[in-house]
Amino acid sequence: SAVISQKPSRDICQRGTSLTIQCQVDSQVTMMFWYRQQPGQSLTLIATANQGSEATYESGFVIDKFPISRPNLTFSTLTVSNMSPEDSSIYLCSAGRSLGYNEQFFGPGTRLTVL
Amino acid sequence: GNSVTQMEGPVTLSEEAFLTINCTYTATGYPSLFWYVQYPGEGLQLLLKATKADDKGSNKGFEATYRKETTSFHLEKGSVQVSDSAVYFCALTLMNYGGSQGNLIFGKGTKLSVKP
């Protein structure tokens, strides 16, 4: 298994500001993903964080709004830029290994409230 | 495209009742199937999984069988407890070309409340 930590666990931010969320995995993983869970909703994939290259974004999510870094095999960051109240959500990081090991592990999430 | 459909909630049961949460999927290729659970105020935890047809995943008294013929992965538990109150998500993932793991595709979630 893999243990994933996220920082911060929660934050309250002002409209127009940006917040960077950190995701740390306790072992090397191939795949890392960022999801958003809006209040009372399911999880929606924002992007796949690729090590050493640009993230792969899902439809409806763009790099300018959600820049992602993945400098190595155990760490990634997601920035929520120029925030508005509609960005209030739980943001979750997940990680998995490739080549047939198809279980994904989730971090505890970052609960973001934008005023 | 690939998608997961699970029964709408909320579901309210009395303790020791039988639980079924239906989940069906649409997928190109051969997905792996999962049930995740989210307890109040906590993150997402893997409950059980099945990687091929006819596999049965089980954990903590919960079971689900991968039925390719009906494209289903229904979650069952014979006797629920108050501590099982949570939101349950059915999900699938497909391998990418080259064997790397794809992202998870989630159903909308089913909220279960168990009353004493």
Q: Output the pLDDT for position B42.
A: 81
CA distance B19 to B2: 26
Instruction: Answer yes or no: do A104 and B93 touch at CB < 8 A.
Output: yes
Residue B97, pLDDT score: 59
Q: What is the least distance, in Å, from the CA of B103 to any CA of chain A? A: 7
C-alpha distances out from residue B85 to A33, A71, B23, B33, B50, Å: 27, 39, 18, 22, 23
Residue B72: which pLDDT band, with cuts at 50, 70 and 90?
A: very high
Q: What is the pLDDT of residue B26?
A: 94
User: The tokens 């439809």 sit on which residue?
Assistant: A59
| Interchain contact A50–B (C-beta under 8 A) | no
Greatest mean pLDDT among B27-31, B64-68, B99-103 lies in B64-68
Summarize the confidence of residues B35-51 as an average pLDDT. 90
Tell which of A58, A102, A110 to mutate to test the B interface (max B CBs under 10 Å). Answer: A102
Omega within 30 of 0 (cis) for the link into B10: yes
Q: Is the peptide bond before A8 cis (omega within 30 degrees of 0)?
A: yes
**Where is average pLDDT lowest: A46-50, A54-58, A69-73, B41-45?**
B41-45
